[in-house]
Amino acid sequence: SVSVTLKNISKVFKGFEGQDIRAVDDVSFSVKPGEFVTLLGPSGCGKTTTLRMIAGFETPTKGKIMIGEGDVTFTPPWKRDIAMVFQSYGLFPHMSVGNNVAYGLKMRKMDREKIKKQVSEILELVGLKGFEHRPPSSLSGGQQQRVALARALVVEPSVLLFDEPLSNLDVLLREQMRVEIRRIQKQVGITALYVTHDRTEAMTLSDRIIVMNSGKIMQIGTPNEVYEKPESKFVASFMGKIAFFPVEIKAIMEDRVKVAIKGKELVLNKEIEISENLKYVLGCRPEGLYLEAPGKGHIEGKVLTNVYLGNYVESYVKTEFGEVMVKTEAGVSDGFEE
Ligand code: ADP
Ligand code: MG
């Protein structure tokens, strides 16, 4: 497998009135050989455009794209050694599953017996052993997506690109396919770049996540880093539920920090380096808060609703500073009223 590197990539489209649409704005990153990296961000932030430039379907307005050591910025798609899996499976409806998968190999004029063997091996890899003679229309959505994946993998590309491949599947199937894609990618050892707006999908699949907004990269990190150490309010909120309170820094101790929210003082664990000269907001994740009887050094609040979700309970709490959600393992809390 090989690396993929983008250096200062921008893409500007022309709108109907001739105005500039800056879809991708000075994006640089590198995917290591065999790594699974996800571009994550809201709709319209430039994920698909970035992927299409790597595939060669769009030419960058500025910047350079490298696959391995080679500069492919202006190389046509079919010379890039890349395969892509789309949301709409893109199977040929009149061809059997086997012929769909064999298509790329036939184009390469591979020997018939060899094709047969390779198709059957790849179908086994994606969990569709013996499906060669079925028409695609007889398969479920999840199975059709597996055929699309098999068709992408069979030509042994160096890089695999995915554009929201699971968006058309129902929730259960989506969860199952996430795990499957991850297993297959690691087994084959291929370099993978995946696009989604779904943070759970990104967390499940990725070695690293690239969070994008408005054509720009907001942060690059492991799932743990972007969740636990977000560098902006945007990344913090995009990765999961969080409430923000502006705080005043009162005193910095070795592993604690004294802050004031609207004049009320609290002592917190020091999770990051804190400078006296900067302004801070306190971000509270639901699982980082807990409910207790009122006391000194607590934020007081009233539980508005408890939502029971089996393994945990979500409590919506109106505090003196604003609303927060508190997540408690079911059975742990007795449900204090305040
Ligand atoms: P995402 O995949 O993150 O939803 P896209 O890359 O599809 O975002 O789009 C990014 C921005 O570029 C959007 O504002 C979109 O409308 C615009 N865009 C994408 N393709 C074109 C195009 N061919 N012509 C004009 N604008 C485009
Ligand atoms: Mg898209």
Per-residue model confidence as pLDDT tens digits over 27-53: 999 999 999 999 999 999 999 999 999
Query: Based on the domain organization, do 84 and 106 belong to the same domain?
Result: yes
Residue type, 240: G
Ligand 1 pocket test target in 17, 49, 163, 210 with most atoms within 8 Å of CB = 49
Q: 93 vs 272, which has greater pLDDT?
A: 93
Query: Based on the domain organization, do 142 and 31 belong to the same domain?
Result: yes
d(CA 57, CA 216): 20
Residue type, 289: L
pLDDT tens-digit series, residues 289-305: 989 888 887 888 999 99
Do residues 180 and 133 lie in contact, with contact meaning Cβ atoms separated by under 8 Å?
no
Query: Based on the domain organization, do 126 and 209 belong to the same domain?
Result: yes
The partner residues of 27 in beta bridges, in order of sequence, read 9
The answer to whether residue 323 is domain-embedded is yes
d(CA 138, CA 2): 36
The answer to whether residue 335 is domain-embedded is no
pLDDT tens-digit series, residues 222-246: 999 999 999 999 999 999 999 999 9
The answer to whether residue 92 is domain-embedded is yes
Last residue of a domain, one of 204, 233, 262: 233
Query: Based on the domain organization, do 70 and 175 belong to the same domain?
Result: yes
Last residue of a domain, one of 200, 233, 266: 233
Number of domains in the chain: 2
pLDDT tens-digit series, residues 315-327: 999 998 889 999 9
Query: Based on the domain organization, do 322 and 263 belong to the same domain?
Result: yes
Which uninterrupted H or E stretch holds 161?
Answer: strand 159-163
Query: Based on the domain organization, do 198 and 171 belong to the same domain?
Result: yes
d(CA 56, CA 328): 48
Query: Based on the domain organization, do 68 and 188 belong to the same domain?
Result: yes
Q: Which two tokens stand for residue 204?
A: 């499940």
Query: What 3-state class would DSSP assign to 49?
Result: helix
Query: Based on the domain organization, do 191 and 87 belong to the same domain?
Result: yes
Which protein residues have a CB closer than 5 Å to ligand 2 (ion)? 48
- Among 31, 3, 36, 33, smallest CA distance to 178 is for 36
Q: Strand 159-163 and strand 216-221: pairing?
A: unpaired
The answer to whether residue 337 is domain-embedded is no
- Among 89, 92, 66, smallest CA distance to 3 is for 66
Query: Based on the domain organization, do 223 and 271 belong to the same domain?
Result: no
- Among 111, 129, 114, 189, smallest CA distance to 153 is for 189
What's phi and psi for 150, nearest 5 deg?
A: -60, -40
Do residues 223 and 52 lie in contact, with contact meaning Cβ atoms separated by under 8 Å?
no
Q: Strand 4-14 and strand 280-284: pairing?
A: unpaired
Kindly give the distance from the C-alpha atom of residue 50 to the centroid of ligand 1, in angstroms, as a whole number. 10
The answer to whether residue 208 is domain-embedded is yes
**Domain, as residue range, for 39:** 4-233
Last residue of a domain, one of 217, 233, 249: 233
The answer to whether residue 338 is domain-embedded is no
Alpha helices by DSSP H, listed for 240-294, are none
pLDDT tens-digit series, residues 100-149: 999 989 988 899 999 999 999 999 999 999 999 999 999 998 899 999 99
3-state percent breakdown (helix, strand, coil) of the chain, nearest 5: 30, 35, 40
Per-residue pLDDT at 338: 52
In this prediction the pTM is: 0.91
d(CA 238, CA 233): 8
Query: What 3-state class would DSSP assign to 3?
Result: coil
Query: Based on the domain organization, do 29 and 88 belong to the same domain?
Result: yes
Query: What 3-state class would DSSP assign to 235?
Result: helix
Query: Based on the domain organization, do 229 and 254 belong to the same domain?
Result: no
Q: Above 90 in pLDDT, residue 263? A: no
Q: Tell me what percent of the residues of the chain surpass a pLDDT of 90.
A: 79
Kindly give the distance from the C-alpha atom of residue 115 to the centroid of ligand 2, in angstroms, as a whole number. 33
Residues near ligand 1 with C-beta < 6 Å?
A: 13, 21, 23, 41, 43-49
Kindly give the distance from the C-alpha atom of residue 216 to the centroid of ligand 1, in angstroms, as a whole number. 13
Four-CA torsion 327, 329, 332, 334, nearest 10 degrees? 40
Per-residue pLDDT at 334: 56
Average pLDDT, rounded, for the chain = 93
